[in-house]
Amino acid sequence: MEKFDIVIVGAGPAGATAANILAKAGLQVVVIERGQTPGSKNVSGGLIFSRIFHEIYPNFWEEAPVERAIRGHGIVFLGEGSSTTLDFRSEKASISPYNAFSVLRAKFDPWLAKKAEEAGAMVITGYTVDELLLENGKVCGVRAGEDELLADIVIVAEGTRSQLLKDAGLRDDFHAKDVSLGVKEIIKISEEIINERFQCKSGEGMAYTTVGNTGGAAGGGFLYTNKDTLSLGVVVKIESLYKSGKQPHEILDEFKNHPSIERMVSGGEVVEYSAQTVHRGGFHLIPQLYGNGYLVAGSAASLLLNNVMTLRGMDLAVASAAAAAQAVIAAKEKNDFSAESLSTYGQFFQATSVYKDIETFKDTYSLMDNTNLFNTYPNLICSVLEDMFSVKTTPGSKVFQSLKNNMVDDISYLDLVKTFYQVGKGIVL
C-alpha cells in the first residue's frame, strides 16, 4: 500500500493543472486517469479562453497543440429555414495574448498531463478509481481495483461523472434539471475550405453559439473551427430531451440539417462522434468544495459558465485547480488536512476573476429555463427580420406591428416582457 502527499482523480485540465503546481512545490503527486490517454473520455466544444491559462502556462500557445486563435464569435438564431446572426470579429483577438483558442481535447489534455509529469507528478492512465477510502470520517486515499493508494489529501477532478463523492456520502445526487447532455461530432474538412468559408486567415478561426432548431428540446448548439476539422454539437437539458421523445443523434441530425448549419459543414466527413453529460452550471450550484482530506475542482464541482454569448468550462477548471493547489500547499505546511484547514480553498477561489464572473452572470440560470428562448423566439426574430428586409406588393409594417403579426398563440406580451426582464437581469444590467 503506497502513500503519497496528494492523489488526484482525473487528468483533465483541473487535475493536470493541480498536479503541475503541486509537483513544482515539491509534493509527491499521483494522478489517476480512467481513460487510456488523458482526454480520451472528454467531450468538449473545444474553446480555451486563454488569459487564465496564460497565468499558469505562460505563452502556452507557442508549444501546446492548439488549433486556431479565435478571431470572432457569432450568435446564430435558427428559425424555420432562416437564420439571424450577430457576428463579432476583432483583430485584437488574434494578437498575443490571444483571447481564445479552439482545441481538441484528445490532443490538448495529453499535453497538460505531460507538463505535470515534467514537473514531477506521476500520471497513471487506464485505471478507474472505484471508491474513496475513509478513516474516522476523513478521506485518506482511493481504491482502484485491488490497489489502494493512501494520501494526505485527495483532489477529486473526475469531471461531470463525479460519483466518488456521492458514493462516499459526501454530496447529494445531482438533480436532473441541472444536468444536460452534450452530443458532438468532429467533421473533417480542408484547412483551405475552412479559411474561405469562414473568412479567416490560416491559424485564425471563428466560434458560433446557436439558439433554436434543437428538436424541441431546451438547449443550444455550437460550431468551432479547428485547423482542418469542425467541432459541431448540441447541448440539451436531459429532462427536456426525455420529454421530446427523441434520441440524441436525432436532435443532432435535425440541427445539422438546418440550411445555415448545412452550408457550414457541407462537404465534410464525420470522423468522430461522442456524447457526455455536462453540468448546466450556476452560482447557486457550486457545491461544498472541500472537506476532511479532500477538495473538488473543475467539472466535478459543477463549474461551468453559460452567459449566452460564451460557454466556459476549461478556464474555470484551471482557475479552481490553482486555488485548490494553494490551499493544499498551505495545509501541508501546517500538516493539517482537516476541512477547516482546507477551507482556504474557498477563499482563494472566491478571489479569482472566474468566481466573480460566475457571480456576475448568476441570473442567466433562470433565463436558460425559459423554453421560449429555444423554441419560439429564434423563429420570431427571423420572421420579423424577413418582413423588414422584404419588399411586397402589400403595404409593409414597422417592427412592432411585424412582431405583433408574427407572434404565435402560445406567446403573449407578458411572455415578451418577462423575457426582456430576464435578459436584462442576466446579461445586461
Query: At which residue does the C-alpha cell 497543440 appear?
Result: 65
Q: Which three cell numbers stand for residue 358?
A: 460566475
HSE-CB of 211 using CA atoms within 13 angstroms = 28
Q: Where are the alpha helices (DSSP H) in 198-274?
A: 238-244, 248-256, 259-265
Distance, CA of 336 to CA of 172 (rounded, Å): 26
Q: Got the DSSP string for 69-134?
A: EEEEEEEEEE-SS-EEEEEEE-SGGGSSSPSEEEE-HHHHHHHHHHHHHHHT-EEEES----EEEE
Distance, CA of 358 to CA of 285 (rounded, Å): 11
Bridge partners for 6 per DSSP: 29, 153
Task: Supply the pLDDT for residue 338.
Answer: 97
Task: Supply the pLDDT for residue 44.
Answer: 61
Distance, CA of 295 to CA of 170 (rounded, Å): 11
> In terms of Cα–Cα distance, which of 291, 21, 277 is closest to 159?
277
Task: Supply the pLDDT for residue 94.
Answer: 66
The residue type at 185? E
Q: Got the DSSP string for 323-354?
A: HHHHHHHHHHHHT--SHHHHTHHHHHHHTSHH
Task: Supply the pLDDT for residue 307.
Answer: 84
Q: What would the CATH number be for the domain defined by 180-279?
A: 3.30.9.90
For residue 175, what is the DSSP state? P
The angle subtended at Cα 253 by Cα 85 and Cα 107, nearest 5°, is 80
- State the 10-residue block means of pLDDT for the chain, 429 residues long: 92 96 98 89 77 92 95 94 93 77 94 97 95 95 94 94 86 82 94 96 94 90 96 92 90 95 96 87 88 95 87 93 98 97 97 94 85 88 92 86 84 85 85
For residue 425, what is the DSSP state? I
Backbone φ and ψ of 85, nearest 5° = -120, 130
Distance, CA of 147 to CA of 291 (rounded, Å): 24
Give, for 31, the enclosing helix (H) or strand (E). Answer: strand 29-33
Distance, CA of 78 to CA of 373 (rounded, Å): 11
Task: Supply the pLDDT for residue 45.
Answer: 58
CATH 1.10.150.120 is held by the domain 2-65+104-171+287-362: no
Distance, CA of 287 to CA of 302 (rounded, Å): 7
Distance, CA of 49 to CA of 69 (rounded, Å): 10
Distance, CA of 219 to CA of 211 (rounded, Å): 7
Give, for 383, the enclosing helix (H) or strand (E). Answer: helix 377-389
Q: Got the DSSP string for 116-141?
A: HHHHT-EEEES----EEEEETTEEEE
Task: Supply the pLDDT for residue 208.
Answer: 96
For residue 396, what is the DSSP state? P
Task: Supply the pLDDT for residue 339.
Answer: 97
Domain residue ranges of the chain, discontinuous segments joined by +:
2-65+104-171+287-362, 180-279, 365-428
Task: Supply the pLDDT for residue 24.
Answer: 97
What distance lies between CA 218 and its chain's CA centroid?
17
Q: Which three cell numbers stand for residue 61?
A: 500557445
Task: Supply the pLDDT for residue 348.
Answer: 97
CB atoms within 10 A of CB 174: 18
Task: Supply the pLDDT for residue 243.
Answer: 87
- Would you give the end-to-end CA distance of the chain in angstroms? 56
Q: Which three cell numbers stand for residue 114?
A: 505531460
pTM: 0.93
For 10, 53, 248, 363, the CA distances from 113, given in Å and listed in that order, are 10, 14, 31, 35
